[in-house]
Structure formats: C-alpha cells, structure tokens
Amino acid sequence: MQLSLTTFSFRLPLLATATEAADSSMVLAAVLLSLVVIYLASKVGGELSNRIGLPPVLGELVAGVVVGVSGLHLLVFPEGGATGSGSLIMSFLQTTAGLNPDAVDAVFAAQSEVLTILSELGVIVLLFEIGLESNIKDLMAVGIQAAVVAFVGVVLPFAAGTAGLMALFGIPIVPAIFAGAALTATSIGITSKVLSELGRLNSKEGQIILGAAVIDDVLGIIILAVVASLAKEGTVDSGKVVYLLISATSFLVGSIVLGNVFSNSFVAIAKKLKTRGELVIPAFTFSYMMAYLAAVIQLEAILGSFAAGLVLDETDERVQLQKQVMPIADLLVPIFFVTVGARTDLGVLNPAIPTNREGLVMAIFLIAVAIIGKVATGLSVFGIPQINRLAIGVGMIPRGEVGLVFLGIGSSTGVLSKPLEAAIIMMVILTTFLAPPLLRFVFPEPIETATDTEKLIFDGSGSNSLVIGSSDAKISSPDKRE
C-alpha cells in the first residue's frame, strides 16, 4: 500500500486508461454493485460476529472470504489471477445492463482499481481514527510493567516467526519479515471487552494487559511502516532498516511534539469557520497531508494518518471530532476489511491437495508462535507478587483488527505468497476466536459484575492505575468499531 508521487503517476493514469477503454457508465455500475455487496457482507458478517461476542471486524473479514475468491466469486480481483469472466458482478451486468462481452475485461480492471483505491483510503481513515483514540497521556501513564510486556510481546513473536519461516519453510526474508510483523499485533478492543465482562478491568492484570496493548499498537504501526517500505524495495539493506526505524520513530515523536503547538491553531481555525464540515474537513486535510509527508520520506502513509490522529486527540474538540469521523470510517473502513477477506484464497490450505500441505503446516506454525509468543510475555512481569502471569499472556493473544491491517497491506504490496497470506489470515482468525474463552478460563470467577455503563479510563496521574467511571456502554479503546 502506497500513497506517494509514484502512486499518483502510476495508478491514476492506469485507471484513466482502463476507464477510457470501457464504458464509464458500466464502470460506475460495476463499482456501485460491488459496494452493495461489500456493505451487505460487512453488516451481515459484523452483526453475526457481534451476536456471538466477537468483534464485528472479524465478521467483516469472514464475510469477505465468503463473497470473494474462496466463496461466491462476487468480489474478485485481477491480482489474484481472476478475470472478468470469473466475476459474477460482470455476468450480472451482461445480463441486466447489456454489458458488451468484449468490454468485460476493461470494465473489470477499472472496477478493481477503484475498489483498491477506496480500500486504501479506508485503512488511512482507520489509522486516523485509531490515532484519535490513542491518548498520549494514557500511553505515558501505563507504567514500566506494561511497557516491558509490550516490548517482549513484539520482539518475541516477531523474531520467532521471521526466523522460523526462513529456516523451516525457506520463505524469502522480506515476506518472512512481513509475516513476523503481523504476529506482533494485539487487539485491545477484544481483550478490554472480555475483561469488562469478568470485572477485571481494574485488576493489576487488567491494567498491564490494556496498557501493553495500547503500546503494542504504536510499536506495531512503526514496524508496519518499516516492513512495508522494505517490501517496496524487495530486499533488506541493514542501512535502509536503520534509516526507516529512525525516520519512523522521529516522525512519530516529532509529530507529537509539534502537535502541541498545532492543536491550538487547529481549534482556533475551526472556530472561525462557519460552513458545514468546519471541524472534520480541516482534520482530514491535516491527516492526508501528514500521510503524504510520511510517504515522501519513504514511510507508509498510514503512519502519517496515525500521527495526525494522535496530534488532534490533544485538542479540545477531540470528542466532537471523533463523533464526526466515525460515520466516515463506517463508510470506508468496511471496504478495506471485506476486500482483504475477498482477496484471500483459503483453497491453498486444502490438505487434500498435496502441494497445499506446506501452507497448512505453515499456518499451524504461525498459530503456535502467535499463541506461545504472547503467553510468554506474562513471564516478563516482575516485582508484583501473586500476579496472574498466565492471564496477562493470554490477554495479549488476540490479533483482531490490528492483525488484519498488517495482512491487508502485505496483500496489497504483492509480497506475500498465497499460502503465506492464507496462513496469516488463519492465524488472525484463530487467535481472535480463542482469546475470549481462554481469558474466561484463566479468570474463572468474576470478581464483580460489569454494568452497561462502565468505561475504562486512565487516571492520567503518571502511574499505571486505572479507574472505572460512568459513561456509555462501550469500552474506550483504539477500536470504536467494536
């Protein structure tokens, strides 16, 4: 996934050429039908997932698999080897709208390009939204224990996953690094929901888990920016890695420092505007500019949008801004998650086909590393007697929406093979499904009943204590979509 000058010089002319070769009205019709499929799939999948106590984004991913290349072939893409004749939407247009069979491939290519761009905008908006909800003061207040757990939870799975894929399966270094990076993620939304149900949000274990998960998000975004940039080059240069690490960290820290100055100016400008969008339009302008600047220095655009969210979270208008961003995210983010699922060919894990067995073994390996690597983080907790270290490790297991962001970007770069991509998606799904029952097992008896008005808030005192306050029914976390 890229947002740079090379993107505009390559993709938009390609889109224009494809559209010129096809009837623009047919391209529009194909895109509209695709969005109908995406939105229906996302809502059905999200609702079903929510009803069984799992995050809606996981349902959107599975729904994408159902309507995509692994299922109904309603949503397929040429990057996966599909053609216009294999798309049910193209067939529907031929039957109902008189699409010329000779123009099918041109319309299909243009439709796919538009959906890809919308998907990329979706993940940029998603990271902006996550940044808006990842309060800097909260990150500073979680304490040294959470920081240690987060660091171990990133380094251990990353190193084990990358080294294992290269040594055991002969995976090239760049895709191995990408898969290892996907193992570092932790979904705070899933864990916080279960901890709330168990009445453990205010426990020492809950404090450390949630604090570490927040830090994991930030570390994960930096790692993602680095490995995605490496994927563009196709090779690993140690000097390049050091440059990317330093530039990513400096960009994020610098954005936060300068943001203290900018946030006051942003509020002053917004108050002077009197037309519709006086708050959200300047916010997205800033987000897209930060995304562009990140791309210019060879980082991922999403790092810029995440940094923009962190900066604007410090403004007095953050609550109102979050409310205005959510409907936009609701429109664009499902496109990203559903298309990630739609592009995934789970057929490569079919054990009945001998050539697929290595991919299945690879999936088992990634799942094992994903679970063991996070459970082991509990052992890094020190200086707190009688703490449930197993519960801390289990709480770090779910990858959820964060793991899907890694997968989606890896898929869009083309660096992941089909078996490795399918193995990663199986890892994300299984760890997300396993986390809630495992947390209930390691916390067998609820110590209090969580009400519908509980909300997790950091006390901001500089310690890692948390308090429960009265608010809405949602857990305050980096993923409001849950």
285 is a domain residue:
yes
Backbone angle region of 400, left / alpha / beta, with phi > 0 → left and psi within -120 to 50 → alpha: left
Q: Name the residue type at position 128.
A: F
Residue 234: its pLDDT value, please? 65
pTM, whole model, 2 decimals? 0.69
Question: Which regions of the chain are under pLDDT 70?
Answer: 1-22, 80, 134-143, 188-190, 192-194, 196-197, 201-202, 217, 233-237, 260, 314, 400-402, 444-482
Distance of alpha carbon 203 from alpha carbon 313, whole angstroms: 27
Q: Are residues 58 and 155 in the same domain?
A: no
Same domain, 216 and 362: yes
* pLDDT on residue 366: 94
**Are the C-beta atoms of 359 and 346 separated by less than 8 Å?**
no
Residue at a domain's end among 116, 139, 156: 116
Q: What is the pLDDT of residue 206?
A: 79
Residue length of the chain: 482
Q: How far apart are alpha carbons 83 and 106 in whole angstroms?
A: 10
Q: What is the pLDDT of residue 233?
A: 67
Give the DSSP per-residue string, 194-236: HHHHTT-TTSHHHHHHHHHHHHHHHHHHHHHHHHHHHHHHSS-
79 and 198 in a single domain? The answer is no
Q: Are 270 and 373 found together in one domain?
A: yes
Tell me, yes or no, whether 7 lies in a domain: no
Residue where one domain finishes, among candidates 73, 93, 116: 116
133 neighbors 314 (Cβ within 8 angstroms): no
Q: What is the pLDDT of residue 433?
A: 75
Count: domains in the chain: 2
Residue 17 domain-assigned (yes or no): no
Tokens of 481: 């979509």
Domain extent, residue 60, equals 24-116
- Whether residue 39 sits in one domain with residue 185: no
DSSP structure string for 126-187:
HHHHHHHTS-HHHHHHSHHHHHHHHHHHHHHHHHHHHHHHHHHH---HHHHHHHHHHTT---
Say if 130 falls within a structural domain.
yes
Within this chain, do residues 60 and 181 fall inside the same structural domain, yes or no? Answer: no
Question: Is residue 155 in a domain?
Answer: yes
Quote the CA–CA distance of 364 and 369 in Å, as a whole number.
9
Classify residue 265: in a domain, yes or no: yes
Cα separations (Å) of 479 from 25, 273, 387, 474? 37, 29, 27, 10
Give CA separation, 310 vs 135, 136, 170, 218, in Å. 7, 7, 39, 10
pLDDT for 367 equals 93
One domain for residues 255 and 283:
yes
194 within a domain of the structure (yes/no) = yes
Shared domain check, 138 and 32: no
Instruction: Express each pLDDT in 228-243 by its tens digit.
Output: 777 776 666 677 777 7
